[in-house]
C-alpha cells in the first residue's frame, strides 16, 4: 500500500511531531471525511507500507527527524515551490527559503526521490505569463541538480475559487499553450524532466511528458524496488496516480493558500489545529466512544521475488 501524508493538509509543516510519532508507534487512525464517526486504522510498518509519499510547501520542520522514516521505508517527496508570495500563500516560506530547504532535503534523501511541483499555475494582474516564466527560469536554474523531475499543472476553476480569488484571470487555451511552450523550453535548457499533473491537454510537442506524478514506476525507480504492473485509476480526469491512503485531514492546513481545495476556509483550519494532540493516533482530536474503528485494507503493490 502507498501512504500519502500530504494530500489533505501540509502534515510536514504543521504536524511533524505527530507524523514522526505515528511512524514510531507503527499505526495511525484517520476519520472518513464524509462519515466522521467512521475511523480507519492503518499499520505504518515496512511490512505493510510499500512507500511513504510526502507533499509539502516547507520541509524544514521535519528535516532533523526525517531519517526515522527514511531509514525504514521507501519514500518519495513532492516539494511545492511556486511563483506566489504572501498575498496568495500566506503561510508559505519565500522562494529562496524553500530552495535552500529543498537542497538540504536532497542531501538527506537524494535527488532521485524529489519532485519539484510548480503547481497550480494561475494568472492575475501580478502573476502574468511573463512573471511565471521568469520565476520558473530562476528556480529551474538553481534546482536542476537537486530534483528528479518537475511537475506542473494549471489551476482548476471550481466555484469556491471564484469567491476566494476574485482577482483570478481565467486561463485561455492560448495562455496554456504559451505557458507550456515556455516551461518546456526552460526545462529542456536545464535538463529537467518535465511533466503535467491532471491537465486535460497534450503538450508533448513542447517536450512535456503526460500526467502521472504518483506512479509505481516513479516510486520503484527512486527506491530501487520493483512494483507490479497495475492500472493507475487516478482521482480525477487527467490524473494517473496510483491508489493510496491519505492519513491527513481536511480543514487543517494553515498555509492559507487562496486556491486551496482542502480547506473550507482558513479560520476552520486554525480552529481545528487547537484540537490537535501530537500523541493522539488521530491528526485532530481523540477517539470517541461513538466512533467505529475498522482496519483498513493494506494490499501490497510490490513485486515479490521468486
Q: Which of these, 56, 174, 47, lies nearest to 105 by C-alpha position? A: 56
Query: Can you name the residues that pair with 117 across neighbouring β-strands?
Result: 80, 151
* Residue 303 included in any domain: no
Per-residue pLDDT of 242-275, as tens digits, reads: 788 999 999 999 999 999 888 877 789 999 999 9
Burial class (CB in 10 A: 0-12, 13-18, 19+), 222: buried
b/e per residue 47-58 (b: at least 16 CB within 10 A): ebbbbbbbbbbb
Whether 240 maps to a domain, the answer reads: yes
- Degrees, nearest 5: CA angle 37-42-45: 160
Return the DSSP state at 241: P
Residue 16 has a pLDDT of 98
Q: Where are the alpha helices (DSSP H) in 29-82?
A: 67-70
pLDDT of residue 232: 54
pLDDT value for 305: 64
Q: For residue 190, what pLDDT is reported?
A: 98
Q: Is residue 199 part of a domain?
A: yes
Measured CA distances, 142 to 69, 70, 139 (Å): 27, 25, 5
- Longest CA pairwise span in the chain (Å): 59
Question: Can you tell me the distance from the alpha carbon of 289 to that of 280, in angstroms, rounded to the nearest whole number?
Answer: 15
Look at residue 243 in the predicted model and tell me its pLDDT. 82
Quick one: CA dihedral 100, 156, 6, 2, positive or negative? negative
Distance between CA atoms of residues 192 and 199, nearest Å: 19
From first to last of its 306 residues, the chain has per-residue pLDDT tens of 999 999 999 999 999 999 999 999 999 999 998 898 999 999 999 999 999 999 999 999 999 999 999 999 999 999 999 999 999 999 999 999 999 999 999 999 999 999 999 999 999 999 999 999 999 999 999 999 999 999 999 998 777 787 889 999 999 999 999 999 999 999 999 999 999 987 778 899 999 998 777 889 999 999 999 988 766 554 444 445 678 899 999 999 999 999 988 887 778 999 999 999 999 999 999 999 999 999 999 999 988 765
Please indicate, yes or no, if residue 304 is contained in any of the structural domains: no
Instruction: Tell me whether residue 210 is in a domain.
Output: yes
pTM of the model: 0.94
Distance, in Å, from the CA atom of 36 to the CA atom of 280, rounded to the nearest integer, reads 16
Q: How many domains does the chain have?
A: 1
CA atoms of 182 and 176, how far apart (whole Å): 10
Say if 301 falls within a structural domain: no
Query: 5 and 49 in contact (C-beta within 8 Å)?
Result: no
What pLDDT was estimated at residue 239? 47
Using a 10 angstrom Cβ sphere, with 0-12 exposed, 13-18 middle and 19 or more buried, the burial of residue 152 is buried
Which residues sit opposite 207 in a β-bridge?
A: none
The answer to whether the bond into 222 is cis (omega within 30° of 0) is no
Q: Spell out where 240-297 has E strands.
A: 245-246, 292-295
Q: What is the pLDDT of residues 150-190, one digit of tens each?
A: 999 999 877 778 788 999 999 999 999 999 999 999 999 99
Domain that holds residue 85: 2-295
Amino acid at each position: 500500500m502507498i501512504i500519502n501524508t500530504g494530500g489533505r493538509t501540509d502534515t510536514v509543516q504543521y504536524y511533524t511531531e505527530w507524523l514522526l510519532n505515528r511512524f514510531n508507534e507503527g499505526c495511525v487512525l484517520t476519520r472518513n471525511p464524509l462519515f466522521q464517526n467512521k475511523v480507519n486504522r492503518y499499520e505504518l510498518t515496512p511490512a505493510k507500507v510499500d512507500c511513504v509519499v510526502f507533499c509539502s510547501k516547507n520541509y524544514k520542520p521535519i528535516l532533523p527527524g526525517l531519517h526515522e522514516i527514511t531509514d525504514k521505508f521507501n519514500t518519495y517527496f513532492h516539494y511545492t515551490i511556486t511563483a506566489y508570495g504572501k498575498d496568495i500563500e500566506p503561510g508559505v516560506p519565500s522562494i529562496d527559503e524553500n530552495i535552500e530547504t529543498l537542497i538540504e532535503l536532497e542531501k538527506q534523501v537524494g535527488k532521485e526521490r524529489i519532485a519539484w511541483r510548480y503547481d497550480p499555475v494561475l494568472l492575475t494582474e501580478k502573476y502574468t505569463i511573463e512573471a511565471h516564466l521568469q520565476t520558473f527560469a530562476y528556480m529551474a536554474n538553481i534546482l536542476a541538480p537537486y530534483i528528479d523531475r518537475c511537475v506542473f499543472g494549471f489551476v482548476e476553476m471550481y466555484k469556491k475559487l471564484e469567491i476566494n480569488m476574485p482577482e483570478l484571470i481565467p486561463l485561455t487555451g492560448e495562455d496554456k499553450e504559451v505557458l507550456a511552450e515556455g516551461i518546456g523550453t526552460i526545462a529542456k535548457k536545464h535538463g529537467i524532466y518535465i511533466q503535467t499533473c491532471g491537465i486535460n491537454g497534450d503538450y508533448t510537442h513542447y517536450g512535456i511528458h503526460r500526467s502521472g506524478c504518483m506512479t509505481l514506476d516513479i516510486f520503484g525507480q527512486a527506491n530501487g524496488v520493483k512494483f507490479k504492473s497495475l492500472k493507475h485509476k487516478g482521482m480525477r480526469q487527467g490524473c494517473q496516480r496510483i491508489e493510496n491512503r491519505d492519513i491527513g485531514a481536511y480543514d487543517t492546513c494553515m498555509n492559507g493558500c487562496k486556491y486551496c481545495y482542502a480547506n473550507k476556509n482558513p479560520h476552520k483550519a486554525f480552529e481545528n489545529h487547537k484540537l490537535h494532540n501530537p500523541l493522539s493516533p488521530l491528526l485532530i482530536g481523540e477517539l470517541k466512544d461513538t466512533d467505529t474503528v475498522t482496519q483498513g485494507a493494506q494490499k501490497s503493490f510490490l513485486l515479490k521475488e521468486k
